[in-house]
Structure 1
Amino acid sequence: MSNTGRKKKLASFNCDQRMWEQFIACCNSKGTTATATLIEFIDLYLGDSQDNVDTTGGKDLDERLDSKMKASVEKYLIASNKSHNSPTNETIRAICERLDKLESQLSSESNSNQTTAIDNLADLSQKVEGTCARMTQLAEAIIKIQNYLNNQQKRGQKSYYKNSSFQGHTPRMQPLTEEGLASRLGVSEETVRKERIKLPPPLFVAWCKGKDRAGKVWEFNENTGLYQPAS
């Protein structure tokens, strides 16, 4: 850089010659110079408007693209109106009709499938409810059978305990009179009395055992005057 005036420096940089010439021409067409444009750009870039500088090019580019697209569309529409029955337009209309028809078919099939799915879901729900009801009935039947078997088992146990208690507690033989003992032994009262008097107690007990049908032994109790089973 070199001095070009007070507080100024001459800046130089490498640039494509054609690009530089186009830049100068563009600046001149807008009523300014390349130097003034570069200085303004540097001021903006170094100042608070740096973001504005960074976005200006993109914004202008988008606007130019939008304008070109609009111009192309308008041009196509004008040409389409002038040649309404051209093969291209006919093809486009045919494609649009096919797309509309396809969209209608897809919508119809979607509604039909949705209805079928709802019906199938309702049938499935009914089948599930029926199965649950049958399972409930089966469970109740199993519970009743189990209760019946448990009751039968308890009754059998009670009957067994009753029989065991009866067998374990045989009624004790009651003392007999002389007449009762004679009848049990199958002899007369006089014979019983005679044998009791003439035989010692142990021999009388043995004599009674020999005469008793069940082999019971009997002895005479002088205090009560009765014949009682000997232990």
Structure 2
Amino acid sequence: MSKRVVLVFLMFICSGVAFSQTASDSIPKLDPKVKNALNVADQLAYQAALKYNDLEVAKNKLFDLIVRNPEDIRYMEALGSLYFESGINASAALVAMDILKINDKNTGAMEIAAYALEQLGAFDRALPYYESLHLLTGDNFSLYKSAYLQYSMKRYAEAMNSVNMLVKNAKPDEKIGFAVSETETQQVNMKAAALNLKGLIYLDQSSKTEAKASFNEAISLEPNFNQAKENLQKTN
């Protein structure tokens, strides 16, 4: 993504204007029967567009539904999901953040905002959404992502606290994926992943003895954990 696009995206974030509020103030009221007929027609067109993988038409029909029904958050949620699944992260994040202005406990929007902002490189903006998602749901994947972003931003004390919580609370059947190639992902025990990240935190702070112990513990849980083995070599 170009610097210009990122700048424009951040300007939209800083504006703080929820689209639904603007729409509800400016759209003339329709006769309920007319409105209902238009809604039904647009919903059917949206479903047909999805069926035939015409995402542009699907998106346009959602915009029509959002403008006509600014009070109905379902259409914004569908638009955010459509952007998210299409990899249009800037738009997905903007829609998700507008949804959260309406309902700050909408976990679906929170997840989209967190992931999309992370993909855009806006780690400082993504982190609060991952943290809130963990607090609301107890989801350990969100806690891992929080720890990873804290580590990436060199907020080592916070990252270590998150990792220690994860090591303590990770369930035996929880897995997380690590890319081993462009087409292959290795599924790793969550506790082992947390220990690997703990080792990286130590390594960044030149604590090689502690890092080595963490990597070895991760490998003891997951003997084929490629990334932990590679990181262990850095402690020699």
Pair in the same fold by TM > 0.5: no
Q: Could you say which structure has the greater relative contact order, defined with CA pairs below 8 angstroms and 6 or more residues apart?
A: 2
With normalisation by structure 1, the TM-score equals 0.16
TM-score of the two chains, using structure 2 as the length reference: 0.16
